[in-house]
Structure 1
Amino acid sequence: MPRQSDLRFTFEPLQGDAFEVVEFRLEEGLSQPFHLSLELASHDPAIDFNRVLDLAALFTIWRGDTPVRYVHGLVSLFSQGDTGFRRTRYRAVVEPSLARAGLRSNWRMFQGQSVPEIILAVLKAQRLSEVKTYLCFDHPPREYCVQAGESDLDFIARLAAEEGLLYSFEHRADGHTLWLTDRVGGLGTIGTHEHCPVHYQPLAGGDSAEPALHRFHYTEQVRSARQVQRDYTFTHPYYNLQHNAVGASDLDHQHTDYERYDYPGRYKRDASGKPFTKTRLTALRSDARLAHMEGDDARLQPGLAFDLNDHPREDFNDRWRTLAIEHHGTQHSSLLEEAFGSDSGTAYRLSASAIRWDADWKAPLRAKPCIDGPQIATVVGPPGEEIYCDEWGRVKVSFPWDRDSNQDDHSSCWIRVAQGWAGATWGAMAIPRVGQELIISYLDGDPDQPIATGRAYRETNLPPYQLPKHKTRMTIKSRSHKGQGFNELRFEDELGQEEVFIHAQKDKNVHIKHNNGVFVGNDRSERVNHNETISIGDNRNEDVGNNETISIGANRSVTIGANKTETITLAKAETIGLAKALTIGAGYQTSVGAAMNTSVGLSQSEQVGLHKSVMVSRRFNITAGEEFTVTVGKSTLVMKSDGTVLINGRTFDFSATGAVQINGKDVDIN
């Protein structure tokens, strides 16, 4: 390990005295929290853990009196070891404030926010204020994004990798800042932009005068050359949402037909699909051309570029950007009283990986949580609303795991609802109502793509009928919107009580384009409380096997456009409580096969416009109780019940072909 006589390491906690650094290892890289492990020594054998653990501390690499590198963070681990030779050994682990996000997990959702906004919101909830962003590209908002039980750190890292974001840390003596960017080239250099040299010195040994890189290995690997992704959105179901990305300048030394195809692409718009696809290919090719270095220049930091000088291969003398570094240092001068290792001095080395400065780099994609099974949710909506949906019948829900939900129309995104039938403007539709319980599944297990696939009763939403008492009933029963009425189609399957029941709270309309057949095996009853109108376009036939009774409370009118024929096999009885009027436009004929009796309780009047003929084959009897009168113009015949017969006329012609006999007590002629 290279040694530098003027190199030293210090470690200072926020509170208390500084420690002597015996050994340290620092692992750091782009888009990962750094991890600093320290072996320490102190004259104090009883350091209060409360003054060290979970507090800020500063590790510094010095060259003489000049600080070369700061590492600022929080102490995540602190342990006490052996005591000897007036010193006690301690061990500490220092990590960034961001690492604390790995200690928290959550179930929560974000709506209508971009990934940078989501990440900043999570960091704000962690009370991380030392955050800066450098964004060069547009990042469209995501309609719906769920943290599905992930730690906050895993959630941030996953979203950042999906979106093509990366992060690094900037250290100062009084703190450290988290940088979030979408362009690795914007992270800067180890010095000025024009002057940031790092020397290559392969034959280093002993005490190095100047820091340098002692090994520089360059590697190219065959990686996927093409990324193809496709996804689906129900708003444009016939558009395949496919995007392609092909490696550019770094494909010179390999075939270009190594294609990786992924479905789903985790996007719903072209504006997201195109950069997502490019980001994934860049991540897949992140180590296609990589330099591995060893040396002792502590200025190297992840994301910062440097100019390599003095390499024998001229094209390596270029600007490079560090990706990940592992530092290791020992300082045995801190253990002067201990014999072992006390003469080793201070040594430091690093191993790192780097890419050319103009190459792009994206963090490897992280696995997205997969929801293994369905979840329960409750339909929600604006205050006072019972049914809340959009033009596709989607609803909003509140999940039991959502601690931020206000049980309103902002509790989730619009969620599609599976229906029994879904055609083009035809099918089945039953909108889940506010307060009902839904079973939520996830497309491809993706927590960002919920879909309601079922519904379930619960204690606050009981079935329409008491169970198991009515276990034989199958029903479709709705409820009036903002009312207590209902519509229902019910089937009763109890043996001997089978029934189909239909209830309409208000109107019922049946539209039949062709025939309608109804068969009733026993009785049928029908009641209309108000009016009934029946219109028949052509003919109507009605067949009653036995009797028919019609009861009309008031009037009845029958209009027949042409003829009416009525045939009664036996007798007909007609009873009219008051009057009957019969008007016939032309002829009227009554044919009676046997006897005909007409009984009138009070009066009977008969008017004939022209002629009337009465023909009796044998006898014709007329009986009047008091008086019988026949009037023809000025002639009258009056017959009274007392036997008086009066005949009046202007002339009287009485003739007979046979004998004429007049009998009377008195016969007075003239």
Structure 2
Amino acid sequence: MGAQLGARLRCDSLGEDLSVLTATVDEGLSQLTTAIISLIAPGLLDDAALGEPATLEILDDDAVVRCFPLRLRALQLMQIQGEGRARYRVELCHELALLDLRSDVRMFQEKDAMAIVDEVIASAGLSASHYSKSLQRTLSERVYCVQYRETDLCFIERLLEHEGIFYAIEDDGAETAVTFADNGSALSPIEGDTAVMARPELTHGPGIHDLTFETSVVSQTVSLGDYNHDTPTLELGRTESTTSDYSSGDWYEYTAGYLTPEEGDTLAKIRCEEIDAGRVIGRGTSNVPRFRAGRWFELEGTDQTRLHQKYRLVTVQHHYAVHDADAREGGASYHNTFSCMPEVTPYRPPRRRRAPRLTASHSMVVTGPSGAEIHTDELGRMKGKYYWDRLGAQDDTSSCWMRVVQFPIGESMALARVGWEMLSLHFDGDPDRPIGVSRMYTASGPSPYSYPAAGTRMAFQTPSSPASGKSNELRMEDGGGGMEMFVNASKDAQIKTINNKTEKIGVDETQEVGVDSGVDVGAAQSVTIGGNETSTVSGQQSINVQASRTKSVGGSETVSVSGGIKIGVKGSDSETTGGTHMTLAALGIDRTATGGESLTVGGSMISAAGLGVGLAVAGAKAETVGGVKVVASGASVTESVYGALASTVGGAQVQAAGGNRIGNTKGVSALTVGGLLAANAAGNITLKSKKVTIRVLGVANFIGGGGTLTLTPASASMLGIVTLDASGSVKISGNPNLVG
């Protein structure tokens, strides 16, 4: 440098008569330029200048050799001197450092890292013309990205470091120029001659006075892992090797912040280049003011020719000082200290800014489009607006889709409703990966029950949608003495049991069906009732048995029919009653069997009808009554058997008909009565059969409208008109007395 060195601070609000005593300027790749200046001012400086542009210039024979366009960050009054002068410590910073004064909690959606950086810089009011990009790689779009309790500067540096993007600050003019780059071709060599001599024997002249190199062992491989719930079976693990010959071990990161194998490959390579960038570091001292962070130079003048190569400057610290107490008399010096790396090694910024890890829960409101009550996607995910979000809208754009934690029971699913307050956690603590956990009640969204009065009540309740005031509910009441399980279906209910189902009711059961009820049993059904059973049917009842049916009554059975009764049997009919068999009909009794019929009654049998009694059997009929048999009708009594008829009554048999009494048998008829046989008809009594055998152990009376036939074991008598008709023969045993 020339014989006359100087430094000048230019700031419109501070005036021009400022004497710089010392200045230290720090600059670096992905590092904001700062300057600490000691100066003498003619008087007290105006604090209103804080934040204003201020430029520090390094002069060589009055020519500007370095220029640092910065902002005035701090003024510190150090000493009041004579003649009103004041000594100050002045701190300058790059305009991006103002982002460190802004902290926020906000989210960005569907943007890549550089688009987010641009938005943050613009929101701080910084001029976009100061910033440019030189990117060779297309960045992946981030579905959801959260700045969480970070300064704007920390946030954008974190994003850039993750993507392997550095920034270099150029200070050639009155305004700063920042370049965001992911490749070395975006960086230029130092101004002028790029060759710089290593001249430790000299104390004057441009060159490097001291230079050391440090080579370190680094990780041999980088392994990354992550998980994408949209492709859960896709293997995302990736491994890349560093280029160092002196390496050992594997550097593993999970979660590494990517969702596809291609992104993983790219990031693994970037992580390796980040490690390689710190493997060889040179540190030195020079008096070359042209040294600037990001630029490269060629080293010459050493005894080790293998060191003669290009080196990229990573950091440079400039030192200016006036050695004479009176700055106006000169005697200043300049030197810098620097760090560098081989230019052939790609530079990646070290990741100094780590992403926040959220260990605490957060609260949000479930959101959706205007008017929607449920807003979800094919995975049942939800969207929500966090209470910390002061910028986002409370609609379907409020967040990314987030999964909702479900009950740990099989294929359970519960969807969050719009307007609910939800508890949220984050996968691996990553603010970019939120998860909905559970609903929380609030004063505006209270519980469906009043507490603490309902403190013993637990419920699962889902309101109808669109809202109608109805809900499905499963409720448990655990209060002593009033314990209850309550199930409510606001409309339809379906219960499906794949295998067996067992229900046990300790006391009573009541079922109430408003309209129809149907039971479909694929195989057998068994119903056992320990006490009484009462069935009331207001309309008609139909019983259809496709195969056999067995009915067993241990005691008495009473069938009361207000109208007619009709029994049709296509096959055989066998009925056994251990006690009395009674059939009462206010109107008629009509019984038909298309096959045979067998009836056994251990006790008495009574059939009574207000109108007629009719019996038709397509086959044979066998009837055994242990006690009395009574058939009574207000009209006719008709019995037709197309096969043989065998009737045995252990006691008396009484038949009374208000009309005719007709018995018609195509086969043989045999009637055996242990006691009295009485047949009484207001009309005719007709017995018609191929062969009629009447065996009476007591007395038999047939009383018709025209005559009387009386049979006893010893005699038979007829009074009036009595007609006996058989296609074969009529046999009356005993001592008949026929009177016409």
C-alpha separation in 2, matches of 1:318 and 1:622:
139
Counterpart pick for 1:316 among 290, 307, 316: 307
1:55 partnered with 2:52: yes
Aligned to 2:463: 479
The answer to whether the 8 Å contact 2:227/2:236 transfers is yes
Aligned to 1:666: none
Aligned to 1:453: 437
C-alpha separation in 1, matches of 2:333 and 2:460:
81
C-alpha separation in 2, matches of 1:660 and 1:500:
81
Deviations 1:285-307 (A, max 9, x none): 33321222211111111001123
Aligned to 2:700: none
The answer to whether the 8 Å contact 2:101/2:151 transfers is yes
1:349 partnered with 2:335: yes
The answer to whether the 8 Å contact 2:707/2:722 transfers is no
Deviations 1:619-664 (A, max 9, x none): 444456xx5346899xxx85499xx967999xxxxx99888878xx
**Alpha-carbon distance, 1:334 to partner:** 8.2
C-alpha separation in 2, matches of 1:86 and 1:471:
78
SS of alignment partner, residue 573 of structure 1: strand
Query: What residue identity is the alignment partner of 2:415?
Result: I
C-alpha separation in 2, matches of 1:552 and 1:60:
107
SS of alignment partner, residue 99 of structure 2: helix
The answer to whether the 8 Å contact 1:23/1:330 transfers is yes
Aligned to 2:587: none
**Alpha-carbon distance, 1:437 to partner:** 2.4
1:391 partnered with 2:446: no
User: For residues 632 and 23 of structure 1, do their structure 2 counterparts lie closer, same or farther at Cα, with a shift above 3 Å needed?
Assistant: closer
Aligned to 1:652: none
The answer to whether the 8 Å contact 2:209/2:285 transfers is yes
Q: Which runs of 5+ in 1 are unaligned?
A: 650-654, 663-670
**Alpha-carbon distance, 1:404 to partner:** 1.5
1:153 partnered with 2:135: no
Deviations 1:233-256 (A, max 9, x none): 3334444422222222xx24x2x3
C-alpha separation in 2, matches of 1:185 and 1:324:
18
**Alpha-carbon distance, 1:583 to partner:** 2.8
User: For residues 542 and 5 of structure 1, do their structure 2 counterparts lie closer, same or farther at Cα, with a shift above 3 Å needed?
Assistant: same
Q: How does 1:46-125 map to 2 (within 5 A)?
A: 46-50=44-48, 52-80=49-77, 81-85=79-83, 87-125=85-123
The answer to whether the 8 Å contact 2:37/2:89 transfers is yes
Aligned to 2:240: 245
User: For residues 525 and 200 of structure 1, do their structure 2 counterparts lie closer, same or farther at Cα, with a shift above 3 Å needed?
Assistant: same
SS of alignment partner, residue 202 of structure 1: coil
1:364 partnered with 2:350: yes
User: For residues 65 and 522 of structure 1, do their structure 2 counterparts lie closer, same or farther at Cα, with a shift above 3 Å needed?
Assistant: same
528-537 vs 234-243, which moves further: 234-243
SS of alignment partner, residue 435 of structure 1: coil
1:216 partnered with 2:203: no
Give TM-score scaled by structure 1 length: 0.87
The answer to whether the 8 Å contact 1:185/1:358 transfers is no
**Alpha-carbon distance, 1:321 to partner:** 1.3
Whichever structure has more strand as a proportion of its residues is 2
C-alpha separation in 2, matches of 1:237 and 1:599:
79
**Alpha-carbon distance, 1:527 to partner:** 1.4
Aligned to 1:507: 492
1:27 partnered with 2:18: no
C-alpha separation in 2, matches of 1:657 and 1:136:
135
CA RMSD in angstroms comes to 3.0
The answer to whether the 8 Å contact 2:2/2:61 transfers is no
1:546 partnered with 2:545: no
**Alpha-carbon distance, 1:185 to partner:** 3.5
1:585 partnered with 2:616: no
Aligned to 1:529: 514
Deviations 1:332-379 (A, max 9, x none): 578268xxxx5x612111111111222212221122212232212222
1:261 partnered with 2:252: yes
Q: How does 1:394-473 map to 2 (within 5 A)?
A: 394-421=381-408, 426-473=410-457
Query: What residue identity is the alignment partner of 1:396?
Result: K
1:305 partnered with 2:296: yes
**Alpha-carbon distance, 1:215 to partner:** 2.1
Aligned to 2:171: 171
**Alpha-carbon distance, 1:33 to partner:** 0.8
The answer to whether the 8 Å contact 2:236/2:260 transfers is yes
**Alpha-carbon distance, 1:65 to partner:** 4.0
The answer to whether the 8 Å contact 1:10/1:60 transfers is yes
C-alpha separation in 2, matches of 1:274 and 1:281:
11
C-alpha separation in 2, matches of 1:657 and 1:322:
150
State the number of aligned residues: 630
Counterpart pick for 1:272 among 254, 263, 276: 263
Aligned to 2:711: none
139-148 vs 460-469, which moves further: 460-469
Aligned to 2:581: none
* Structure with the larger RCO, 1 or 2 (CA within 8 Å, 6+ apart): 1
The answer to whether the 8 Å contact 1:41/1:334 transfers is no
**Alpha-carbon distance, 1:263 to partner:** 2.6
Give TM-score scaled by structure 2 length: 0.79
User: For residues 659 and 569 of structure 1, do their structure 2 counterparts lie closer, same or farther at Cα, with a shift above 3 Å needed?
Assistant: closer
User: For residues 180 and 549 of structure 1, do their structure 2 counterparts lie closer, same or farther at Cα, with a shift above 3 Å needed?
Assistant: same
SS of alignment partner, residue 292 of structure 2: coil
Aligned to 1:226: 221
C-alpha separation in 2, matches of 1:57 and 1:336:
20
C-alpha separation in 2, matches of 1:554 and 1:159:
78
The answer to whether the 8 Å contact 2:166/2:181 transfers is yes
SS of alignment partner, residue 575 of structure 1: strand
Query: What residue identity is the alignment partner of 2:179?
Result: W
The answer to whether the 8 Å contact 1:166/1:184 transfers is no
Q: Which runs of 5+ in 2 are unaligned?
A: 567-590, 612-633, 643-663, 689-703, 709-718, 725-731
